[in-house]
């Protein structure tokens, strides 16, 4: 099995400290047994997270297209992930709250999606898929071609400015959604319940499914707690990973951080190398910190 783990590490000191304090014997054993192979990614400012870049490379695609992968659609349509968000205005700027902070139910998600279909109407060739409460996909035969935007996984929990798209089309769509949502009765209901208003949408992860899926198991249980800044939940998810999938026989393991995704594979080893690895403890924290 090839296991790929997004958001295995983060660059802030608190996350590094939380990881360094974990006992992850199965992760250490896998890293001691497997050999480092490919590395993908550039830096923490790239619009696509490293696990998307790695999945694109494994599929033989030049660029990631996470929306199309999630839908499992044929290449006749381009797809984008649309994420309902709350933009929090503060003294230092505007932050994109993590989607989990909305506590959006499936029924409310359907109501908001029905409202936004006024802007991306099926009569105009748009197709909609509600993947879950906070991840929707919109598809079109031509309207999304040539558009690029940062993944919501880059923007969530951070100031919005560095991640805003250059495309005038995408900015116009976002402005139209904000005007439609502003003061709407659905948001009045949410605010009356003490919940964040959905005052915008994030459109990203655009592309087509240009290649068939690879035999890769993506375990994304670390994503939501890390984006939400809940390091206790992130550490707990790491421990469940170690006791579960990482305890299974793996032919390949790809660990993904904010800058890089690095793949480790099973390769023949000399007797000397086997002895060296058995005697030399693998520093899992150092491996994850380098991502």
The tens digit of pLDDT for each residue in 158-189 reads: 999 999 999 999 999 999 999 999 999 999 99
Same domain, 133 and 226: no
Query: At a CB cut-off of 8 Å and minimum separation 6, what does 148 contact?
Result: 47, 165, 166, 167, 206
Helices (H), 144-219: 152-155, 168-181, 185-192
Same domain, 73 and 178: yes
Average pLDDT, the chain: 92
Task: Give the whole-angstrom CA distance, residue 182 versus residue 199.
Answer: 6
Same domain, 110 and 185: yes
pTM of the model: 0.92
pLDDT, tens digit (0-9, with 9 covering 90-100), for 94-103: 999 999 999 9
Domain end residue (candidates: 190, 207, 224): 207
Task: Give the whole-angstrom CA distance, residue 163 versus residue 115.
Answer: 25
Q: What is the CA radius of gyration of the chain?
A: 20
pLDDT, tens digit (0-9, with 9 covering 90-100), for 191-210: 999 999 999 999 999 999 87
pLDDT-above-90 percentage for the chain: 81
Same domain, 71 and 55: no
Same domain, 17 and 105: no
Same domain, 79 and 202: yes
Same domain, 148 and 265: no
The DSSP secondary-structure symbol of 144 reads: T
Domain range holding 23?
2-60+214-289
> Which two three-digit tokens encode residue 291?
């991502």
**What pLDDT does residue 194 have?**
95
**What pLDDT does residue 276 have?**
60
Domain end residue (candidates: 140, 172, 207): 207
Same domain, 272 and 237: yes
pLDDT class for 266, splitting at 50, 70, 90? Answer: confident
**What pLDDT does residue 74 have?**
73
Lowest mean pLDDT among 28-32, 50-54, 83-87, 265-269: 265-269
CB neighbours of residue 106 within 10 Å: 9
Average pLDDT over residues 117-126: 96
* Statement: residue 281 has pLDDT above 80: no
Same domain, 219 and 245: yes
pLDDT, tens digit (0-9, with 9 covering 90-100), for 223-256: 999 999 999 999 999 999 999 999 999 999 999 9
Domain count of the chain?
2
């Amino acid at each position: 099995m090839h296991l790929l783990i997004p958001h295995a590490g983060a660059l802030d000191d608190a996350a590094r400290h939380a990881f360094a304090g974990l006992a992850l014997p199965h992760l250490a054993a896998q890293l001691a047994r497997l050999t480092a192979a490919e590395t993908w990614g550039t830096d923490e400012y790239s619009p696509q997270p490293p696990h998307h870049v790695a999945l694109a490379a494994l599929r033989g695609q030049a660029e990631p297209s996470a929306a199309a992968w999630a839908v499992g659609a044929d290449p006749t349509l381009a797809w984008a992930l649309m994420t309902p968000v709350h933009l929090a205005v503060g003294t230092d700027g505007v932050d994109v709250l993590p989607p989990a902070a909305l506590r959006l139910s499936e029924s409310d998600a359907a109501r908001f999606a029905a409202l936004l279909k006024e802007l991306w109407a099926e009569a105009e060739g748009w197709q909609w898929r509600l993947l879950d409460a906070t991840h929707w996909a919109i598809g079109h035969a031509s309207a999304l071609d040539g558009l690029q935007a940062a993944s919501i996984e880059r923007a969530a929990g951070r100031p919005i400015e560095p991640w805003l798209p250059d495309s005038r089309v995408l900015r116009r769509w976002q402005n139209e959604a904000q005007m439609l949502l502003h003061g709407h009765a659905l948001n009045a209901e949410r605010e009356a319940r003490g919940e964040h208003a959905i005052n915008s949408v994030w459109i990203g992860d655009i592309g087509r499914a240009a290649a068939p899926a690879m035999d890769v198991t993506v375990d994304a249980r670390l994503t939501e707690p890390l984006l939400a800044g809940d390091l206790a939940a992130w550490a707990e998810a790491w421990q469940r990973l170690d006791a579960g999938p990482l305890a299974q026989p793996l032919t390949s393991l790809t660990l993904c951080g904010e800058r890089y995704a690095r793949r480790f594979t099973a390769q023949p080893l000399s007797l000397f190398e086997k002895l060296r690895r058995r005697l030399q403890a693998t520093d899992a924290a150092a491996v994850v910190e380098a991502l």
